[in-house]
Structure 1
């Protein structure tokens, strides 16, 4: 069991955890949730040893093996993908090397028995199975890690973790770069996993399918709920309503008691009044549950596009010798909401980049209709203007806003006071995603190209985004 005692963590004046204590029993399957910026990624970084904390103690984790999938993985760039996969079996491969160099036949036989008993003969089949479901092709296995995309790095690190089978698995938004087949495979793996795992995810169905406890970050503390996400949501709402009722009753009691004290403190009932003063002093005040304001984005009015938004004919595209799209034909009409689906690497992001003009077709044409104004939400926004503050970035992106107007707009995305002075590099993935959506709303697009827009958002913000897209009057193409 891991015991976390009196944990305190801050970023400058921004306190994330305050004197937090909780436990993680062995074998527990945990969904870690909370609003964007509440400290989910911070906690995973602390548990993995990648982040310091000011006060507190973590016991029981020192001798455990940990596999950690952060949102932005850093891998050894000089290795090929396959070489990195084999690092999952380092002890087994060392044993094989020892066996092959052993001259004594008896010792060699014993080492071989040990190698087989530990599953050494299954290395290739295990790698093949994980790579198949996570869409890691034979071609990708041969590539240097330095040459692959961020999404591919995430899948490769995830494969490495699953093959390593550590004592504790920490996953920060693991479904972001997986197709449906990969998500189902990961769900099944985690459900049958005998070790401990903690997963941060915006995908409530994924959480429902694979966790048995929810750890909820609220008010710089952690509350623990038994069951999956749906059970947590029901229990949390009941608890919230109960606290609201108790708070109302206590407020009325305090008001009546203070009124009695005011009337009788100097009269015949002085002793009773003094007794009630003492009672009020000892009273433990009931706190209202934290009120989470959902983003309040609003679409700025825009001009209407022509009826035919896009005409795509005989479109092909290749990255070098690798053909991604071949002879694609389709039309897009005003008001349509189109989902582009397919396996990882099938070309979903490529289509959006071609439409946006960031890539040039190998052959074929993309003909845009009249009065088209594109708003593009990209996946790779993490390293944007790292050292600038949020307010500086917004003023730079939208030159026609005054500082006061910019503050008001940023408040719609839940950025207040100190938040807007944070550097981009200090924002959580969810906070960055909210900013990028806010930026779209002020650009007045009538054609939205959205590349995995729900990635990184908390579950409440995902709900709001869905409603927001439903009322959008223009055209949407999303992955």
Structure 2
């Protein structure tokens, strides 16, 4: 479908790719992964619109390739006065009207050649989309995604997560040969995430999906493209197979590197001995030996293997220090009393709960149940039903990044406003959060979604907040950053209220769950929440196995750092068994 050969591209301040090559074959479902800011979205855009970019290398696309695309950012439709079914059928009905218009024109003119050509093009397009059966296709897609009940719902009445699912579904219904999805999982609840996995697995065309979601990676793809540090690794197989393969490769490279370093050290020792002899005694034979050994040493150094492809880029996230004695008082930091909010119908009502100092609570519910509305009202702190302790300093991470950041400011100006006094302070901060130094003088608007979230987290960490209000904090973050944030929240001694659809974050960091259902909020123990998720959405055996995989990978990383390669080998074997 697409062949990329020795592609190089970058911006003025940053090179993104250097001579990367890969292929996408018909029918493959490929995941494009990599750390935040490596250029995954840009690569997808280059593949879709190569004529708009100045790059080196070659991109060859199949002549029949029709490309569909759904952005990582859910953009609201201007004309909201339509139902979900009308939204999904719009392009089909529009095409049928075009066909009817051409047919009508044929009855009124004698010059039919141009009209026949246009008519045939429209018929071909309709056939490629299977337009004659669009209604049944739409019903089937809604059923697969678990969204049957929304068919006659107005777009204005659905949530952002549901709207994103519909955008993806609409692109799939048009049956492009290649469908590109950029972080389709962001903000989706557990039910919609399962529906998305079903849609991906049932799609018969070629797919390129940018994602950091562990569930999708483990269930939906048979090819992996890993973009890191300007280089790209191509792997035919599942994500689990790829992780095992890359760790085994890293171990093999490490062992090879040790052997090479030992040989280099021995050769260097011989060169030093021969040089010493040459200074003590003039002898042309010794001089030639020195030159020969030095040449051998230079060759060994030149051909030694490069560092293993994957080096863990886990940011160092340390959230604000909190007075432990104050936290131990267990005073109420946030009090909600009989809160309610409604639009055309009641969204939330009779909501009452307290959050005490040092507690961590996860606010969880399906898309469209009012979680973000509640969070916004808490942050504004002017609602009669909401009270934040006047002595408690609080800070927020917003899922709507343009609300949490001034996108017209540079990264340096943003961090300077957050308390970083000098460029050197900012440089150290960027390094800790795995943000490229080159982005210091870029506008925030030029950062990727994951980089913007890391910037918000850096600002939170630099604050003196005792209460953190986090709205989808792991959205857009790569797998390493997700893990680092989970650790940081678990270690934080202050109070946390977080809205999340990330099962691992909620199950691993929350003291309890605030579950939004039936238009209200009820408190639930984390253990009971886990069981509910197992019963309703995911297989418990899968989730437990995936948790064990993560623990093993963390242990392998630790063993690599300690240079305990025997332990690495043993742990890799255990990971492969899982």
Q: TM-score, normalised by structure 2?
A: 0.72
**Structure 2 counterpart of 1:308:** 332
**Structure 2 counterpart of 1:77:** 78
Query: Is the alpha carbon distance of 1:409 and 1:225 closer, same or farther for their aligned partners in structure 2, counting shifts above 3 Å?
Result: same
Alignment map for 1:147-158 (pairs within 5 Å) = 154-158=164-168
**Structure 1 counterpart of 2:212:** 202
Query: Is the alpha carbon distance of 1:117 and 1:296 closer, same or farther for their aligned partners in structure 2, counting shifts above 3 Å?
Result: closer
In 2, distance between residues paired with 1:134 and 1:414? 42
Residues 1:229 and 2:239 are matched in the alignment: yes
Identify which range, 381-390 or 15-24, moves more after superposition: 381-390
Q: When the two structures are aligned, how many residues end up with a matched partner?
A: 463
Identify which range, 181-190 or 160-169, moves more after superposition: 160-169
**Structure 1 counterpart of 2:42:** 42
8 Å Cα contact 1:134-1:155 kept in structure 2 = no
In 1, distance between residues paired with 2:428 and 2:131? 64
Identify which range, 72-81 or 178-187, moves more after superposition: 72-81
> What is the DSSP-based 3-state SS (H/G/I as helix, E as strand, rest coil) of the residue aligned with 1:46?
helix
**Structure 2 counterpart of 1:286:** 305
Alignment map for 1:258-297 (pairs within 5 Å) = 258-264=268-274, 268=285, 273-283=290-300, 284-289=303-308, 291-297=311-317
In 2, distance between residues paired with 1:103 and 1:68? 34
In 2, distance between residues paired with 1:138 and 1:124? 12
Query: Is the alpha carbon distance of 1:219 and 1:310 closer, same or farther for their aligned partners in structure 2, counting shifts above 3 Å?
Result: closer
Deviations 1:36-88 (A, max 9, x none): 11111111111121751421111124531112122225576357555542244
Residues 1:119 and 2:129 are matched in the alignment: no
Aligned-residue RMSD, C-alpha: 3.3
> What is the DSSP-based 3-state SS (H/G/I as helix, E as strand, rest coil) of the residue aligned with 2:176?
coil
**Structure 2 counterpart of 1:391:** 412
Query: Is the alpha carbon distance of 1:249 and 1:286 closer, same or farther for their aligned partners in structure 2, counting shifts above 3 Å?
Result: same
Query: Is the alpha carbon distance of 1:211 and 1:159 closer, same or farther for their aligned partners in structure 2, counting shifts above 3 Å?
Result: same
**Structure 1 counterpart of 2:19:** 19
Deviations 1:294-320 (A, max 9, x none): 11122232343552222222211124x
Structure 1: stretches of 5+ with no match in the other structure: 105-110
8 Å Cα contact 2:430-2:437 kept in structure 1 = no
Deviations 1:136-178 (A, max 9, x none): 564433x4xxx99865653332121122222111111111132
Identify which range, 91-100 or 235-244, moves more after superposition: 91-100
Cα drift, residue 467 of structure 1: 0.6
Deviations 1:98-142 (A, max 9, x none): 7997999xxxxxx9xx8999424525524654785398564433x
8 Å Cα contact 1:81-1:156 kept in structure 2 = no
In 2, distance between residues paired with 1:134 and 1:232? 36
8 Å Cα contact 2:165-2:192 kept in structure 1 = no
In 2, distance between residues paired with 1:401 and 1:328? 42
Cα drift, residue 339 of structure 1: 1.7
> What is the DSSP-based 3-state SS (H/G/I as helix, E as strand, rest coil) of the residue aligned with 1:159?
helix
Q: TM-score, normalised by structure 1?
A: 0.86
> What is the DSSP-based 3-state SS (H/G/I as helix, E as strand, rest coil) of the residue aligned with 1:71?
coil
**Structure 1 counterpart of 2:465:** 445
**Structure 2 counterpart of 1:178:** 188
8 Å Cα contact 1:312-1:330 kept in structure 2 = yes
In 1, distance between residues paired with 2:142 and 2:393? 45
> What is the DSSP-based 3-state SS (H/G/I as helix, E as strand, rest coil) of the residue aligned with 2:199?
helix
Cα drift, residue 438 of structure 1: 1.0
8 Å Cα contact 1:390-1:422 kept in structure 2 = yes
Cα drift, residue 337 of structure 1: 1.9
**Structure 2 counterpart of 1:108:** none
